[in-house]
Each structure stands twice: as structure tokens, then as C-alpha cells.
Structure 1
Amino acid sequence: MNILVIGSGGREHTLAWKLAQSPKADKIYALPGNPGMADVAMCVEGIAITDNASIVDFAQKHAIGLVVVGPEVPLTNGLVDAVTAAGIKAFGPTQAAAQIEGSKSFSKDLMKKYGIPTAKYEVFTEADAAREYIRKEGAPIVIKADGLAAGKGVIVAMTEDEALQAVADIMEDKEFGNAGSRVVIEEFMEGEEASLLCFTDGKTICPMISSQDHKRAYDGDKGPNTGGMGTYAPAPVMTDKMVQETYDKILVPTIKAMEQEGKPYKGCLYAGLMITADGPKVVEFNARFGDPETQVVLPLLNSDLVEIMLACADGTLAEQQIDWSKEAAVCVVMAAGGYPKSYNKGDAITGLEEAKAAGALVFHAGTAHKDGNIVTDGGRVLGVVAKAENVRAAVDKAYAGVEKISFKDAFYRKDIAHRALER
């Protein structure tokens, strides 16, 4: 079967790498892909990931049997609907179902209606009303742009001034464009964050291995929020009991709620969780694989990803036996100096093969070809991943890989998985 992966980041590189291991995969195309993906896929340039008609046309001409959509933008743009209408199987939710990520107010209203545990919240379309609410509630408090903001539209404000500034940045200065025309303001939840992704065909739900992301730019969870500076799996905070509770109280009710609302959900549902004194509560839902969570979760999957994705599309997930490794995996993100603010592009990257020789997997997130070299082309440049018998060994192996790689002003956190190690 020919498979088309949509996207160009570390998540998509990981997806293509895992799909390529399946005996069912004949040829993999990546649109647009990245230099790292060229080892496992043919990269397709010149078609925008938002151009549904051209993607469908490409899929028909190249006898694609499965389209795997990586990022959120093509999902909320209805790519799965367009591909499915053309008679091609797709992994991912429809445009209507992808609202669970595309609109934070939709997802919060859904949780309120169906009693799914989450933080108390209000939605605002006027900055003055939002400011008034902040003054009434006080800090700490969480301000979220309603729409898609590439994982960066959330400000955890520890002071009232920070919260007021966040409203100004999002609603008045349009820091995240139209995504900030509405804001969701939530109570601050105490606890430890974790992520639990699941495969679903709209009825059956199969949780993946839990993971924990590191959102802040600098060691000690300091600095601005980013798209994610590293991850590890499994997350010790997600005990078997906690995974079961999340399944019973969050995943099952959410998939049932989406069906009730006439928006049946298929694909990967990502539950970003806060593990509070009252149990797990939803911080946010994503309508796709997480980035960089995918980079640690999929290397621990022993089963055939193509078979699982086809079962999700066909509604036969209940027939799948999904097997996971007992190992741990760690991902360290190497970023461009200045990220998440402005950063340089076009700097040569060296040591990629040496990192692989040291036992690391290297997933490209923001790279390009230039003058025969692989160069930096994004804020998060590489995800350096290692698997081992436990988190400590995986951490050591991942950083051994990181040390082999260099590019101008590269920076990375040196404390990935610190919570697991402290336990």
C-alpha cells in the first residue's frame, strides 16, 4: 500500500519512520516532508498542506491507500473529509470533530455539558470584560487564545498584571492572529501535567503509553512556553490506576459525547492532563498526535502502525491487539538560539550520523537542504530520542546523542525527565 503523510515536523518524521516498518507499506510519500524524512519517504514539494483539492489529486495519481494527517491545521481545514469523499482512507478526525482542538470554547463547553473533569472557565470576546473577570478572580489564572496558535497560545499568569498583559497581547495586539479574537480564561490547576494519547475508531479506545512534555524553554521549567522542549515516556505520575481513571472519566465520555453531538471522532485523541488532588482533569484536547510526545510514544509501539490506523479508519479497532514495549524513551529537543522568539535559519548542522552511531534516533523538526548541507529551518530543529530499559538510561543515551550534534547557537534543556528521576 502507498501511504501519504501530511506535514514536515518531528511528529511527521516519527510517523513516517514507524509506518515504514510495516510490511503493508510499499511506498511512503511525505508532503512536504523534511530532509530527515528522505530516508524513509519521498518528499513532495510544491503543494500546500491546506490545498485539499491538490492533495486529493496527488493521492489519486499515486494510488495512495492511506493518508495520515500530522498537523492540526489541515484537520481543521477538512482534509480528512476531502480525502474520504474521494474514496481514500484517512487517519484523523473530520473537520467537525477536529473542533475539539480548533476551538477551546467548543471543547470546554463539551466538557461542561457532559461532566468531563476540567478547570472552571469563562469565554470572552471583549478585552474589557476579560480584564474585569481577571480582577474579580485574581491570580494565578490561565489565559488561552480560543483558536489554533501552534501550541503557544496559552499563558499561565502567576500575577494579575501578567494576566492583564496576556489579554492585551492576545486580544488587542493580535499576537496569535484571529486565534485570539476570543479568549478562554480558566482557573489555575495545581498538580503535575501528563499526556495520554489514544487510538480510536469512534467506538473502541486504545490508550497509548503515557508521556510528559516540558513546555518551558529553560531548565527548571523557567522561561516562556514553547511547542515543547522534550518528553519522556512512560510518565510515572500516570500509574495504572490513573490511566484507568483517565480512560473511564475522560476518554470514554469524550468519544461518546462527540458521537452524541453528531461529530464522531476517529484518529488520535490527545488528552493533556493535570493530575490534581481530585484526580485527572483535562487541560486541553488535541485532535492529533502530540509533538514532541509522538517521538517517545511511537518508538515504544511494538505493533504495526499501518494496521492500527487502517482499523481506526474502518471501525475495526476492537479486533486489534496492540503491544507496547516495557522500555522507557526520552526526547531532547535541540532548538535554535532565541526560540521561541526570533531565531536564525540556515545554519549548518553537523554530527547527525555520529548521534545515530551513539544509539540515538534523530527526528528532524525544522531542517532544510542548502548547498549540499542540512541546515536549521525552524525554532525546534531536532528531536534526539533514545530508548533504554529505564528512564535514567534513556536520558543518558539521549544526551550522549545530543553531544555529537552541533549548529550555531544551538540550545536545549539539560533536565528532561527530571520529575521521573526525582521519583
Structure 2
Amino acid sequence: MSHSITLNVPILARVEGEGALELTIRNQAIESLRLRIYEPPRLFEKFLENRPYTDVMDMVARICGICPVAYQMSAAHAIENCFDINPGPWVREMRRLFYCGEWIESHSLHIHLLAAPDLFGCKSAAELARQCPQEVRRGLRLQAFGNELIKLFGARSVHPVGACVGGFYRAPGPDQASKLLKLAKERIRDCEDLIVWLAALPLPDNSHEFVCVSLYHPAEYPMNEGNIVSDHGLNIAGNQFDSCFKEYQVSYSNALHCKLQGRDYLVGPLARVNNCYGHLPAEIHLLLKRLGIRFPSKNMHQSILARAVEIYYCVLEAIRILSDYTLPESAFSTPVPRAGHGFGCTEAPRGMLWHHYEFDAAGTVRSARIIPPTSQNQARIEEDLRYSLLKLGLDKSPDELRAYSERIIRNYDPCISCSTHFLSLKVNRL
């Protein structure tokens, strides 16, 4: 009888992108574990070179159909940083509202269509909808509300076209804002019920130590602004990213890895909630206390709860902003290009998104560098898999190892591309 077992698992749905996991087990120990991202490089940074700054916002929105707002906001901040533009308080508030829409849309999609089926032993969202029809309908209502917030400023929810350097091309009318305010208030109960539903589910505990990295703002929950911090003492400005974080290429993946001072780290909703819990509103603190949910948490399975917490936060933030909505004298500040470097760092739904651009005096892009959250999480995912599979037990069947590996990876909601297929698992037992 052969002492080697090779397991090939078909491509997995419910994670955006295509890749493979290769796991080699020898004498009940993990000899190698590789998360291979084999999609071809998309070369967006090269596409941006020699383009005028006015093209950047619409181009970077095409990087991701799930989180175009994040790419637009990081780009806007980087360009405005270079051109020394301060769009003012109205634009600042409306950008938060714009971002709230994307967080709600993306988190709702991930919870209900990608992650929750794992919690009920379902192979698809359609199968989950048969078991939990009201819960899935609730998730779709929340997702639809997020899309409406994006459309308020972007004119459409996919690849929005309303944002520009300096602000927005137009300001929504008061009637539009009032309509969204009414919808936001109607979603409060959905947010609370979602957290109650998830809190009652038996989430595994794979708690272990890791570094959480996010933006941090002294006066608000971070979206567009703040220093880059960690729960291990890091506190730097966005333009100091390269002094602490290093990207590198691994031989088996087309996705770059990134480490903080030689160590893997986590970005995303769990890292944000861990680092910025004190900036969440009292309503959320009281609900979590009543349910016995505690943050900070080093259990990645609680990422789904962190996403639900952020949905609730975004609905409350939308109500706050829309309640005081007024038309501005102008929806944008006119840019005056100049040569130099610009840095922008914002919080995409999946975590910190960093942009760096170099412009000439006419505002033409000379170079561009974009570091998305999924590439920052690649090394962390591999270490989580290594720890969690050992804790699960390497003597489990190939099917159990595959299913648990898929679930671990889905905790990170990796956005490898806009496709919906991700993981095949190959296990070699020697």
C-alpha cells in the first residue's frame, strides 16, 4: 500500500479569485504549505503610467467590482496629498458616507453569500436560503441599502463615476438624502438582528497570537484618515509605509506577500475592531455586552462578527451624516497639478489599502504603486492555516482538511479578482 496520498479538490466557489492550496504532510507534520495565487498579474500600475491624473479615479475603480470606492478614495487622497488640496469638511463627511455604502454592501455579501453557508453545512448561498430564508433576505436588504448609498454619490453602485479629485462632480439633492435617511433608520433592526443571529452560532475557537494593523484616528472609527498602527506599538504616517512594511515575491504565487518588520500581520474588519473598539458607538457596545461578545479577539472565526459590527456602525454613521445633510456651495475643489509624490491610505472593506503616485508638473502619472489588503493578508493566511490545521489534527480525512482549510481562508474574504472561484487543495502525505 502506498504511503503517499495526493488529493486534488475542484475549484472552490464563494471566495473571489482563483488559486490553489498545496499541503504536504510527512509523519503527521506539515512539511510545506503554499497558498498559490496563479491568476496572471493584472498590471494596473503600469496602465496608469503616462495617464493624466484625471484618468486615475475611473481606472482604479475597475480593479475591483466589490470595492471600487476604496480604490477611488485611496487614489483621491494620494493625488490631493501631492497637489496639496484640502477639499473641506463637506467632502470629508460625504466621503465617509460613500465609504459606509461600500462597507455595508461588501460585508453583507460576504457574510450571507460567502461565509454563512459554512456555518450551516451548506454548499451554496441558495442552499442556505432554503434553510434560513428570512436571514438571507435580511442580508440582501442590507446589501441593497449599501448599494443605494454608493449610488447616491457615484451614480451607480458598480464602478461609480461620481467621485473626482477634490470631491464629487455633483451634490445629491436634499430629497435624495431624506430618502436614504429613511431607509437607513429602517435598517437598524436588521443590523441588531444580524449580530444576535451570528452570536448564537457555534463558532470554533482557533485563538492564537498575531499582529493587527489598521488605520487609527483619535476622534473617529477610521475610514479615510489616520495613522497606520498595530496592536504591538506601531504608529506611523501613511508616507512612512515603506520604512516598516516590505513586499516580496514568493516563487509559487503571482500575488506579492507583505510583512511588517519581518512578521506576518492581519488587516481587515477584525483588526480594525480590535484596534479601534473604543470609537464604536454606545449602542454597539451595549449590544455586544448583552450578548457576551468581547473584543479585542484573536479568534479569526469571529471575523464574521466584526463584519456585522461594522455594518451596524456604518448604518449609524449614515444616519448621523444624512441627518445633517446640506447642499454645499461647491461639491469639489479645483485641483492645480504639481510635480511630486502623493500617498493615500484608506480602509477598504477587507483592510488597509495603500497608494503611492509620482506626478510630473502637468499632473501626469510617472509611477504608481498599489498595495491591496489581500496581498497584505497572504502570509497571515498561510500561518493561520498552519496553526489551525495542526490544532484540528492532521490525522483527519482529506475531506475534513479541505473543508476546514476553505473555511479558514474565507474568514479573510480574500479578493483575488472579481471572479468567484478560488481554492483547489492538493495534499501529499509522505
Q: Which has the larger radius of gyration?
A: 2
Q: Give your verdict on TM over 0.5.
A: no
Q: Which of the pair is proportionally richer in strand?
A: 1
Which structure exhibits the higher relative contact order, with contacts defined as CA atoms closer than 8 Å and separated by 6 or more residues? 2
